[in-house]
Amino acid sequence: MDLQVEKLETHEARITITLTDEAIALARREVARKLSKQMRVPGFRPGMAPVNVVIGAVGEQAFANELADVLGNKYYAKAIDESELEPYGPGQLEDLKTAPPQLIVRVPLEPTVDLKDYKSIRVPYTAPAITDEDVEQQVQYVREENAIVTLVERPAELGDLVEADVEVTAEGKEVLHNHRPIVLDDAKIGLPGLADAIVGMSAGEHKDATVTLPDDLTDESLRGKTATAVIDVKRVSSRQLPEVGDELAQTVGSFSTLDELRNDMRNRLIEYRTRSSDMQYQTQVLDTFTGLSQVSYPPAYLEERLKELLDELKSDIQRDERMPFEEWLKVRAKTEEQAREELRPNAATRARRGLVMREMARAENIVVTDAEIAAEVERTMSQYGNTDTAELRRALMRGDNLRSIQNTILSNKVLGRIAEIARGETTEQAVETAPATDATEETPAGNEASV
């Protein structure tokens, strides 16, 4: 066997295995014996029909396919060993030549990451600030949540709570699909002019109205366009907001005064915004690290990330929209392939982020300990109340559930570490003694990347 290896720009390798005529002849006889045992060849005992007779019985293409399998099983693994390649997945047969006898296989290679001088990377961090206006906005939210709602028999007015079916479309695309109660306030609806269109309608009334779509609409192609709103009002209720004072504070919690409520809200806002700011900073840092790293992977790796995203999209639609994926596609006049291709940029981002995080875990000796897993299992169990704890613990410690827990912990530790590096907190990590986890490479977390 003679071997030639060609590295491709796609992070794959093309292996050309040149075989002897004797090796090919031997493999052809092996295939003929196998096939003639599986079928009746008139005039010959099972397994004894000549090669040309078997080819005539099964066809040249079927025989060639079987021959490729036999040759691949015999010589592919040996070729991989001799070439010292690190395959990411199984190779694909590109060609089987007869003159000279050659087996040509395309092999996806294990992804590689060069983090460059990552320890010198610095990204500015700004801690969030909370203003009095932020706190007062939270007070207004509390007022909204404690509004006194009363069913009325009159036309809707601004500020009312209206139960209505509302569908807004523009140029054949769905902009809004609502069947829940809405407050007639453009700021709450997020679609200027829709509240005014509903004002004056009573329960049981139908209206077709037009609204102008805002300039900050997610779909840039529809910004500023005229849309049609189909409105069916079912019920109208008035809303009376409570006064801002100590009584409001006493209504919503164990507070004696409005000042106590405001202080609690300020503390909660600081905690929430710090957590949110830290997550955004970690994503920013991860993208900075990723952008400065040299990341290579084969097409097969990207296709797997793309499949993951499509599966997640299907699950999200089933859960949030309560409709089959096929119906969702029809509503948007898309094919599954179009939806899949729209996800490709996100899949590429996920691939690069995930690989950089995996390499960071290796470079910084970041692993997950049994104690960390146990703590996370207990935290997860606490969210299930009176569920059978023994059975739940067993379920969490098995298969995909365990891998998900391991991966989440490892991802959070890696993100925390790169944030430390980016802020200049370069104290060397102590190498942990627990074994590294068997975490999957791409389980989307809040940053859409994991190790």
- Beta strands 92-98 and 181-183: pairing type? unpaired
pLDDT of residue 414: 96
Does residue 432 carry a pLDDT above 50?
no
Q: Residue 212, class by beta-carbon neighbours within 10 Å (0-12 exposed, 13-18 middle, 19+ buried)?
A: middle
Q: Which residues lie across from 93 on neighbouring strands?
A: 105
Strands (E), 213-340: 226-240, 294-296
pLDDT tens profile 300-332: 999 999 999 999 999 999 998 888 999 999 988
Task: Round to whole Å and give the CA distance between 117 and 115.
Answer: 6
- H-assigned helices in 90-237: 132-145, 186-189, 194-198
First to last CA, the chain: 40
193 confidence band (pLDDT: 50, 70, 90): very high
Does residue 416 carry a pLDDT above 90?
yes
**Helix, strand, or coil here: 307?**
helix
Specify the long-range contacts of residues 182-185, CB closer than 8 Å, at least 24 apart: 183/144, 183/159, 183/239, 184/156, 184/157, 184/158, 184/159, 184/160, 185/158, 185/159
Contacts of residue 421, Cβ cutoff 8 Å, sequence gap at least 6: 118, 119, 121, 285
Contacts of residue 318, Cβ cutoff 8 Å, sequence gap at least 6: 324, 325
> Do 2-109 and 147-240 share a fold?
no
267 φ/ψ angles, rounded to the nearest 5 degrees = -65, -40
Instruction: Name the DSSP class of 250.
Output: H
pLDDT tens profile 66-79: 888 888 888 888 89
Least confident of 110-114, 216-220, 441-445: 441-445
Does residue 449 carry a pLDDT above 50?
no
pLDDT of residue 41: 81
Phi/psi region, residue 237 (left: phi>0; alpha: psi -120 to 50; beta: rest), is beta
The fold of the 2-109 domain, in CATH, is Alpha-Beta Plaits (3.30.70)
- Section 430-451 average pLDDT: 41
pLDDT tens profile 24-64: 888 888 888 888 888 888 878 888 888 888 888 888 888 88
Q: What is the CATH number of domain 147-240?
A: 3.10.50.40
Contacts of residue 196, Cβ cutoff 8 Å, sequence gap at least 6: 158, 186
pLDDT of residue 360: 96
Would you list the DSSP string of 319-330? III-S-HHHHHH
- Beta strands 226-240 and 101-108: pairing type? unpaired
428 confidence band (pLDDT: 50, 70, 90): low
| Amino acid letter, 407 | N
Question: Where do the domains of the chain lie?
Answer: 2-109, 111-126+275-295+345-451, 147-240, 297-342
pLDDT of residue 19: 87
Q: Which two tokens stand for residue 431?
A: 């190498």
pTM of the model: 0.71
- Section 136-156 average pLDDT: 94
Does residue 230 carry a pLDDT above 60?
yes
438 confidence band (pLDDT: 50, 70, 90): very low
